[in-house]
């Protein structure tokens, strides 16, 4: 990487090049040094207080002034600070003749490389999170078809975002989606397929909505749906209505077993009543 490509390295290079000659550096006030080095007065006072860089001269009135030698030390402190060294490490480099300066800088370079790697990972994670909020599924069309089956419409995630993109549930769904691999989506799809088969078996067996068997399937649906976002019972009632009235959902469930969409909605409503919820007035909350 070229120094010109990094603002920090460019700052270090500028600091080194701007070191003044000794002839014009004696007797500088803290304000003048602050301006020359681009360091705050507060930082200079702190370095003075801890004995890292103290002005060597005093005026008759007792005000401290920096000499050319003081300024040279300050330049080195600024450079090392820009490179990420803490003040204790800088003090050791400046004052301890036994310190291996190249070794210390190599160690710092290793730490910087590790931070860069971590930041690159964070950047990639942010890209995935942004894509998930905008797209819902971070799967190719081919992956979606392989995982969710030939009846899956790859336009559904975009339609869902257009309809629900400003809701908390979409945000929860997107954040979970960003962290999922195709293999994890496959496991979710398999779990949903197992539930669909269990629902079909219940209809075949004549299970009555509101029975323990039906209520158990309703609870299982809430758990399975929790892979997308937390589903309250009232939300589940709203979904049950959609399963029966939305053409796409109704076609899905009735395609599994004739009448399943209505049976499932009735089972969800019966379970809601058992928990003190009126399904006729339940809202998405």
User: What pLDDT digit, counting tens, does each position of 126-163 carry?
Assistant: 888 898 888 888 889 999 999 988 888 888 888 888 88
Q: Are 25 and 64 in contact (CB under 8 A)?
A: no
- The pLDDT value recorded for residue 24 is 53
Q: Is 55 left (phi over 0), alpha (psi -120 to 50) or beta?
A: beta
Question: How many Cβ atoms are within 10 Å of 214's Cβ, its own excluded?
Answer: 22
Tokens of 50: 């801890």
List Cβ<8 Å contacts ≥24 apart for 221-229: 221/195, 221/268, 224/191, 224/192, 224/195, 227/176, 227/188, 227/191, 228/169, 228/172, 228/173, 228/176, 229/168, 229/169, 229/172, 229/173, 229/176
CATH no., domain 129-275? 1.10.490.50
User: Which sequence spans correspond to the domains of the chain?
Assistant: 28-99, 129-275
pLDDT in tens, 252-269: 999 999 999 999 999 999
DSSP structure string for 83-105: TT--HHHHHHHHH-TTS-HHHHH
Fold classification of 28-99 is Multidrug-efflux Transporter Regulator; Chain: A; Domain 2 (1.10.1660)
């Amino acid at each position: 990487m070229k120094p010109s490509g990094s603002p920090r390295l460019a700052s270090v290079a500028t600091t080194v090049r701007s070191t003044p000659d000794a002839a014009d550096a004696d007797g500088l006030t803290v304000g003048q040094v602050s301006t020359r080095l681009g360091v705050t007065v507060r930082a200079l006072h702190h370095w003075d207080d801890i004995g890292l860089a103290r002005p060597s001269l005093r005026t008759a009135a007792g005000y401290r002034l920096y000499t050319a030698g003081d300024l040279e030390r300050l330049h080195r402190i600024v450079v090392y600070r820009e490179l990420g060294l803490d003040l204790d490490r800088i003090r050791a480099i400046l004052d301890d003749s036994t310190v291996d300066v190249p070794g210390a800088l190599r160690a710092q370079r290793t730490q910087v490389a590790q931070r860069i790697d971590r930041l690159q990972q964070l950047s990639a994670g942010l890209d995935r999170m942004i894509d998930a909020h905008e797209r819902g599924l971070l799967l190719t069309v081919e992956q979606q078809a392989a995982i969710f089956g030939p009846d899956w419409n790859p336009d559904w995630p975009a339609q869902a975002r257009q309809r629900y993109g400003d809701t908390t549930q979409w945000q929860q769904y997107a954040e979970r989606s960003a962290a999922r691999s195709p293999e994890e989506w496959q496991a979710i799809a398999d779990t949903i397929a197992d539930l669909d088969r269990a629902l079909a078996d219940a209809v075949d067996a004549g299970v009555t909505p509101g029975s323990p068997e039906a209520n158990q399937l309703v609870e299982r649906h809430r758990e399975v749906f929790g892979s997308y976002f937390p589903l309250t019972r009232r939300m589940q009632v709203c979904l049950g209505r959609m399963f029966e009235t939305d053409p796409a959902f109704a076609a899905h469930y009735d395609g599994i077993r004739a009448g399943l969409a209505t049976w499932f909605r009735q089972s969800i409503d019966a379970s809601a009543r058992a928990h003190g919820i009126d399904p006729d007035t339940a809202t998405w909350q």
